[in-house]
A and B are shown apart, each in its own frame.
Chain A
Amino acid sequence: MQQFLDTTLGGLVLGAVYAAFALALCLIWRSTRIVNFAQAAMAMVTTYIALSLINADVPYWVAFVAALAAGFGLGAVIERVIIRPVEGKAELNAVILTLGLFMVLHGLTAITFGVQHRGFPAPVSTNAIAVGDTSIGITPFGILTIVVVAVVMAGLVVLFRFTDLGLRMRAAAFNGEVSRLLGVRVGRMLTLGWALAAAVGAVAGMLIAGGDLVNPAFMDPFVIYGFIAAVLGGLDSPLGSVIGGLILGLSLSYVTGYIGEHLAPLVALGILMVVLLVRPSGLFAAAAARRV
């Protein structure tokens, strides 16, 4: 019972991070119909920027905001310079392009910062909370992770539901041609979409790194886990991404806790295949007709 509780709590924290990643992928998919396989590498870059600031005695939360801003800028530049030429072209091209970007960011970070593992500080304790005499499987940093992801999600909901800017972004993503006729600066909205997504990814990066060791490869599993979580939720639905992230986090936590750590990616692959074959549009997206 104790182990089950611990595994569940660990899975929820993990799931919150996957959810943030899936949300970032979903934002980009909605605006440009591209799956950004470089998302994790971008988040890794911003995490390293934050780490160098922290090592230069900048307070944690200032570095956190700096990582967010760096992610925002990185996302905007990448969309404008690299992604814009392949938007609307064959979907294979965009996939290969983001994979190339993944390799470049990965290698450049390794060259700049070295490949050795480095400790990353956390703003709050990463020791398990004790209730009476027994410690339960969640840390203050774990709780902070869930809270931060919830705040980010609430912020996005407010942006897209209740602001003029959000409406324009949704319009640009829904139908670029018509929105352009109606005076929406579609190109700018797409850039903003990528920038926002990269900022969300940067937050996820900070949450993964906190209290742990980082090296240029530390985010690699999140390339696939974020993708699987997003597909689980249907790529198109932000709420679905969050639920998909939680489901994946819990499942992988149980697999790691009860069967074996090394089987986790295989189980993730199994989940992905089942979802794609049974409900290709995800658990939460509206069904779209496509048969071939």
Chain B
Amino acid sequence: MESLRSLLRPVMSVPLARHLVVALVAFVVAMAVIGTSSQYLQTRYAEMAYFAIAAGGLTLLTGLSGQLSLGHGALMAVGAYAATLVLERTGGETLADVFVALLVAIAVCAVVGVVVGVPAARLHGPYIAGATLTLAVAVPRLANQWDVLGGEQGLQVPVPRASELPAWIQDLIWFFTAVEIDQYSFLAYLGWLLLVLTFVALANLSRSRVGRRWRAVRDDDVSAELAGIHLGRARVVAFTVSAMCAGLAGGLMAMNVRLTAPGAFTITLSLTLLAAVVLGGLGSLTGALIGAGVLAFLPHFATDLGESAGLSATQAAEVTPVVYGLVLMLVILLAPAGIVGSLRSFLARSSLTSSLGQTKEKTT
């Protein structure tokens, strides 16, 4: 055990290497879990993956650079529509089509991120909340304005057929999981692959000079500016990175839901993402992952609970937002650091008391 630890130390002390090792392990585990799951669970895992990508971007923005965004639902809508329009043109049958669509979604959202981020960088507190909330209301309604966006009914999304995938991928998946890849598992694998890549990129970014700048801006903007940090630039970069994540998440969401319509991108979606990152703990990628898991699995659980309590289907569907709202309120009132933050401070406290206990024993 000790020799293993000393063997790993040089790898684990470099952030990039550590993140890559963790990512590789996480992806192998994810593949094994997805491969052996039912179709229902595979859909949930795919959902969890795109929620986690969006939540990861949001937690980076709100937790590290201190800007609140209630407009990430709108940014996901932008990504979803961009990806859908590309898939419509290319037919979306091959893996290349899928990646082109996702890249376009990311690129479009990067542009939107800069456009929104520049004015947002000058706002704070309730002002940025109100402005981004307006964005969340305004953007999805644009789909009704232009015919190419399909109006209220939305656009059908063509999805790649698993049989069209390159042979080596099919073989690889079969080799690992002994299960033929189908459309549902393909979307789950794709989602988790992109999730792992995104989180490695975000974790590295947050440990880098850029991430340190964001923290400095968040904690004390005046001192940060005195130290030579360009506040506006740091905030715009944070917003753009976050918007790119939302765009990727939106593109994946479009492929999973197979229908891109304005009704899917309500204020509630944006607030739900906020609930996920607040619950997990602002600024923590692990927290974002936990929050995304809640987003993917809670609705079905809560709806079942509501129906068993005698509510009609439409009423039971409203149990979920109530739970999210309660989560937001309770976390803020009782544990503002969220799950990960609270655990971390609990562990720190207990290790502190145990080490204090040890010194006490030594002195007596």
Q: Interface of A with B (CB < 8 Å)?
A: 34-35, 37, 82, 85-86, 91-97, 99-108, 110-111, 114-115, 220-221, 223-224, 227-228, 231, 260, 262-263, 265-266, 268-269, 272-273, 276-277, 280, 292
Contacts and interface: CB of A to CB of B under 8 A. Distances in A.
Given A227-B130, A276-B119, A276-B122, A97 B333 contact: yes
Q: Which of B134, B267, B336 has the most CB of A within 10 A?
A: B134
A99 B131 contact: no
Interface stretch (B95-103, B271-279, B341-349): B271-279
Contacts of A91: 124-126
Contact of A276 (B70, B127, B133, B319): B127
A220 B137 contact: yes
B37 interface: no
Interface string B10-31: 0000000000000000000000
Contact of B123 (A85, A221, A262, A276): A276
B325 A107 contact: yes
B130 A265 contact: no
B322 A111 contact: yes
Chain B facing A: main interface SS = helix
Contact of A37 (B122, B133, B221, B320): B133
A276 B131 contact: yes
Nearest to A277: B119
Nearest to B71: A269
A93 B145 contact: no
B267 A92 contact: no
Given A92-B68, A107-B325, A272 B134 contact: yes
Contacts of B187: none
Find the residue from A108, A263, A276 having the highest chain B CB count within 10 A. A276
Interface stretch (B154-162, B170-178, B243-251, B310-318): B310-318
Interface string B59-76: 000100010101000000
Contacts of A277: 119, 122
B291 to A, nearest CB: 13
B332 A107 contact: no
Contacts of B139: 266
Interface of B: 62, 66, 68, 70, 119, 122-127, 129-131, 133-135, 137-139, 141-142, 144-145, 221-222, 225, 231, 267-268, 271, 274-275, 278, 306, 311-312, 314-315, 318-322, 324-329, 332-333, 336
A224 B68 contact: no
A52 B97 CA distance: 54
Contact of A110 (B70, B133, B315): B315
Chain A contact residues: helix, strand, loop or mixed: helix
Contact of B134 (A86, A96, A262, A269): A269
A269 B131 contact: yes
A108 B311 CA distance: 12
Contact of B325 (A101, A115, A265, A292): A101
Closest 10 CB pairs of A and B: A100-B328, A103-B325, A107-B322, A265-B138, A104-B325, A35-B126, A91-B125, A100-B329, A110-B318, A107-B321
Given A101-B325, A220-B137, A292-B231, A266 B332 contact: no
A95 B329 contact: no
A224 B328 contact: no
A272 B119 CA distance: 11
Contact of B319 (A105, A106, A111, A269): A111
B138 A107 contact: no
B232 to A, nearest CB: 10
B336 A99 contact: no
Given A82-B333, A224-B133, 16 more contacts: A34-B126, A94-B126, A97-B329, A100-B327, A102-B325, A103-B275, A103-B328, A110-B314, A110-B318, A115-B318, A227-B134, A262-B141, A263-B142, A272-B131, A276-B122, A276-B127
A104 B326 contact: yes
A259 to B, nearest CB: 9
B127 A231 contact: yes
Given A97-B329, A110-B318, A292 B222 contact: yes
Contacts of B122: 276-277, 280
Given A111-B315, A263-B145, A86 B130 contact: no
A273 B333 contact: no
Given A100-B325, A100-B326, A273-B119, A107 B130 contact: no
Contacts of A106: 318, 321, 325
27 contacts: A35-B126, A91-B125, A92-B68, A92-B125, A95-B126, A95-B129, A101-B325, A101-B329, A102-B325, A103-B271, A103-B275, A103-B321, A104-B321, A106-B318, A110-B318, A111-B319, A114-B312, A115-B318, A221-B137, A223-B133, A231-B127, A262-B142, A266-B142, A269-B131, A272-B131, A273-B131, A292-B222
A225 to B, nearest CB: 9
Contacts of B68: 92, 95-96
Nearest to A227: B130
A206 B312 CA distance: 28
Contacts of A223: 133, 267
A288 B68 CA distance: 23
A223 B126 CA distance: 13
Contacts of B306: 111
From A104, A108, A111, A266, residue with most partner B Cβ within 10 Å: A111
A41 to B, nearest CB: 10
A49 to B, nearest CB: 18
Nearest to B133: A224
B145 A260 contact: yes
B333 A37 contact: no
Contact of B329 (A104, A220, A228, A231): A104
A95 B131 CA distance: 13
Given A86-B333, A262-B145, A269-B134, A107 B70 contact: no
